[in-house]
Amino acid sequence: MIYNHKTGTYTHSQTARNIMLTLITGFPLAKAIEYMIIDALLLADPHMDIAKRVDQPEKYLHLTDAIMLEIEASERPVSSHYPPLIS
Protein backbone atom coordinates (compact mmCIF):
# COMPACT_ATOMS: atom_id res chain seq x y z
CA MET A 1 0.00 0.00 0.00
CA ILE A 2 1.19 3.47 -0.87
CA TYR A 3 -0.08 6.58 0.90
CA ASN A 4 -0.98 9.59 -1.27
CA HIS A 5 -0.33 12.74 0.73
CA LYS A 6 -2.40 14.95 -1.59
CA THR A 7 -5.62 12.95 -1.40
CA GLY A 8 -5.06 11.29 1.98
CA THR A 9 -5.77 7.85 0.55
CA TYR A 10 -3.92 4.57 0.21
CA THR A 11 -3.31 3.00 -3.18
CA HIS A 12 -2.46 -0.61 -3.91
CA SER A 13 1.16 -0.93 -5.06
CA GLN A 14 0.22 -2.50 -8.43
CA THR A 15 -2.13 0.39 -9.17
CA ALA A 16 0.57 2.87 -8.16
CA ARG A 17 3.04 1.07 -10.42
CA ASN A 18 0.63 1.29 -13.36
CA ILE A 19 0.10 5.01 -12.74
CA MET A 20 3.85 5.69 -12.65
CA LEU A 21 4.44 3.59 -15.77
CA THR A 22 1.74 5.54 -17.61
CA LEU A 23 3.31 8.83 -16.57
CA ILE A 24 6.79 7.78 -17.69
CA THR A 25 5.88 6.08 -20.98
CA GLY A 26 3.45 8.82 -21.94
CA PHE A 27 6.03 11.56 -21.39
CA PRO A 28 6.88 13.23 -24.74
CA LEU A 29 10.63 13.13 -24.18
CA ALA A 30 10.50 9.40 -23.39
CA LYS A 31 8.56 8.81 -26.61
CA ALA A 32 11.10 10.84 -28.62
CA ILE A 33 13.99 8.81 -27.19
CA GLU A 34 12.12 5.57 -27.90
CA TYR A 35 11.64 6.60 -31.56
CA MET A 36 15.32 7.56 -31.89
CA ILE A 37 16.41 4.16 -30.56
CA ILE A 38 14.06 2.41 -32.99
CA ASP A 39 15.46 4.47 -35.88
CA ALA A 40 19.03 3.55 -34.87
CA LEU A 41 18.13 -0.14 -34.72
CA LEU A 42 16.41 -0.03 -38.10
CA LEU A 43 19.33 1.74 -39.75
CA ALA A 44 21.90 -0.62 -38.22
CA ASP A 45 19.98 -3.83 -38.93
CA PRO A 46 21.05 -4.30 -42.58
CA HIS A 47 24.71 -4.08 -41.54
CA MET A 48 24.58 -5.99 -38.25
CA ASP A 49 21.75 -8.51 -38.87
CA ILE A 50 20.08 -7.65 -35.59
CA ALA A 51 16.64 -8.97 -36.60
CA LYS A 52 18.06 -12.39 -37.57
CA ARG A 53 19.25 -12.90 -33.99
CA VAL A 54 15.64 -13.23 -32.84
CA ASP A 55 15.25 -16.48 -34.79
CA GLN A 56 18.41 -18.06 -33.35
CA PRO A 57 17.96 -18.93 -29.65
CA GLU A 58 21.70 -19.07 -28.91
CA LYS A 59 22.13 -15.52 -30.26
CA TYR A 60 18.81 -14.24 -28.89
CA LEU A 61 19.99 -14.97 -25.34
CA HIS A 62 22.75 -12.40 -25.79
CA LEU A 63 20.51 -9.75 -27.37
CA THR A 64 20.36 -7.11 -24.64
CA ASP A 65 20.54 -3.34 -24.31
CA ALA A 66 24.25 -3.74 -25.06
CA ILE A 67 23.22 -3.77 -28.73
CA MET A 68 23.34 0.02 -28.58
CA LEU A 69 27.00 -0.19 -27.52
CA GLU A 70 27.65 -2.58 -30.42
CA ILE A 71 26.10 -0.09 -32.83
CA GLU A 72 28.13 2.74 -31.33
CA ALA A 73 31.38 0.72 -31.54
CA SER A 74 30.72 -0.43 -35.09
CA GLU A 75 33.20 1.06 -37.54
CA ARG A 76 31.06 0.28 -40.56
CA PRO A 77 29.26 3.46 -41.73
CA VAL A 78 25.51 3.16 -42.13
CA SER A 79 25.21 5.85 -44.78
CA SER A 80 26.84 9.11 -45.72
CA HIS A 81 23.41 10.78 -45.61
CA TYR A 82 22.99 10.30 -41.86
CA PRO A 83 24.98 11.58 -38.90
CA PRO A 84 26.45 9.00 -36.51
CA LEU A 85 23.61 6.93 -35.07
CA ILE A 86 24.68 7.11 -31.46
CA SER A 87 27.14 9.55 -29.97
- Does any domain span residue 78? no
- Does any domain span residue 84? no
The pTM (predicted TM-score) of the whole model is: 0.58
- Does any domain span residue 85? no
- Does any domain span residue 21? yes
| Domains of the chain: total | 1
- Does any domain span residue 9? yes
CA distance 43 to 36: 11
- Does any domain span residue 80? no
Alpha helices in the chain (DSSP H): 13-25, 28-48, 57-60, 67-73
> How much is the pLDDT for 55?
92
Model pLDDT for residues 41-85, shown as the tens digit of each residue: 888 888 888 899 989 999 899 888 888 888 888 877 665 555 555
Model pLDDT for residues 18-47, shown as the tens digit of each residue: 777 777 777 777 788 888 889 888 888 888
Which range marks the domain in which residue 40 is found?
A: 2-73
